[in-house]
Amino acid sequence: MATMNAPAKLTQMNPPTNPVQIRLTRRSPAYWRVTIDNPPINVMGPEMVKQFQEVINALEADQQVKVVVFDSAVDDYFLNHSDFMAKLEDLTSMPAGPTGLPPWPDFLARLTRLPVASIALIRGRATGNGSEITLACDMSFASREKAIISQWEVGVGMVAGGGPMARLPRLIGRNRALEVLLSSEDITADQAEAYGYINRALPDADLDAFVESLATRIAKFDKWAIAQTKRLVNTSLPPDVELGAGWDACIASLGRPAAQEGIKALMAHGFHKPGDVENRLGYYLGQIAR
């Protein structure tokens, strides 16, 4: 996870741009959409984490839902890195979730175990948190022209906190996982498909119709069969202790001088606002590296 920076050295706290940052739409009793909507660049702060918790609570409590699709209402961004203008303590003071993990890895672990099919529809950047929710979903489909996936944290002196070290090796193999994590590069949809990071890269014009058709099809099937099949496939999941260790390392990394200096350098170039740094984060990480 690309989480918030530790001390208040870098910036001051800003109020959320949009208090309702996640919209849950019930297309039918069996088919729900979760739309991320925090313009201008879909960063994730403590308020969005709380809203993700509300979403997973609702999904777990409902007996009729069979499929949920995560998408974005913000052009060029699926889900971005976390809000570096927020206070770290606003996140770390939140109580643990039912898994015993902090709220963000708790949400991701519960999403993967949810007896509901989950699909990520990726258009735009899936940076840090966006990659992590993609890895937690059961399936992911991305715009060939517009999707970029990134685990960028090492490039700024951080450790990711939402479980990619635990999930990626099981998904794409150890060597490719290390390439993704240690290079901190932007990954195109075609490369992500070739590595097995996502299910498919689709032409942007076809993406919505494809995901809609798949979600509608799954929503017609028996929920017990969906849930039991997913439960048996989930025997290959990483244990929660691995997710917790990643979160602890992430929080510890935020206070390190290397991370502070890296984030400041990105901010000086225009990080955290619409523009070239957010659009080509992998390139700029290479530029600020010493």
pLDDT digits (tens, 9 = 90+) for 119-173: 999 999 999 999 999 999 999 999 999 999 999 999 999 999 999 999 999 999 9
The predicted pLDDT at position 202 comes to: 98
Q: Is the pLDDT assigned to residue 1 strictly greater than 60?
A: no
**Could you tell me which of 100, 114, 13 has the C-alpha nearest to residue 55?**
114
* Cα separation, 183 vs 109, whole angstroms: 26
Arithmetic mean of pLDDT over the chain: 94
Please give the full DSSP string across the chain, using - where no structure is assigned.
-----SSTTS------S-S--EEEEEEETTEEEEEE--TTTT-B-HHHHHHHHHHHHHHHH-SS--EEEEEESSTTEEE--B-TTS-HHHHHTSPP-TTSS-HHHHHHHHHHHSSSEEEEEE-SEEETHHHHHHHHSSEEEEETTT-EEE--GGGGT----SSHHHHHHHHH-HHHHHHHHHH---EEHHHHHHHTSSSEEE-HHHHHHHHHHHHHHHHTS-HHHHHHHHHHHGGGSPPHHHHHHHHHHHHHHHTSHHHHHHHHHHHHHTTTSSSHHHHTHHHHHHHH--
pLDDT digits (tens, 9 = 90+) for 200-235: 999 999 999 999 999 999 999 999 999 999 999 999
The predicted pLDDT at position 195 comes to: 98
Q: Is the pLDDT assigned to residue 290 strictly greater than 80?
A: no
The residue behind tokens 């060597």 is 175
Domains of the chain, by residue range, sit at 22-206+221-288
Q: Report whether the peptide linkage leading into residue 203 is cis, meaning its omega lies within 30 degrees of zero.
A: no
Q: Is the pLDDT assigned to residue 5 strictly greater than 50?
A: no
Report the pLDDT averaged over residues 181-196.
Answer: 98
| Phi, psi of 245, rounded to the nearest 5 degrees | -65, -40
Q: Compute the half-sphere exposure of residue 264: CA atoms within 13 Å on the CB side of its CA.
A: 12
Report the pLDDT averaged over residues 177-183.
Answer: 98
**Could you tell me which of 272, 187, 270 has the C-alpha nearest to residue 5?**
272
Above pLDDT 90, what percent of the chain?
A: 92
The predicted pLDDT at position 18 comes to: 58
pLDDT digits (tens, 9 = 90+) for 97-132: 999 999 999 999 999 999 999 999 999 999 999 999
The predicted pLDDT at position 10 comes to: 38
**Burial profile 144-159: b = 16 or more Cβ within 10 angstroms, e = fewer:** bebbbbbbbbbbbbbb
Beta-strand pair 200-202/139-143? parallel
Q: Which class is 22-206+221-288 in CATH? A: alpha beta
Confidence of residue 289 (pLDDT cuts 50, 70, 90): confident
Which is higher by pLDDT, 8 or 47?
47
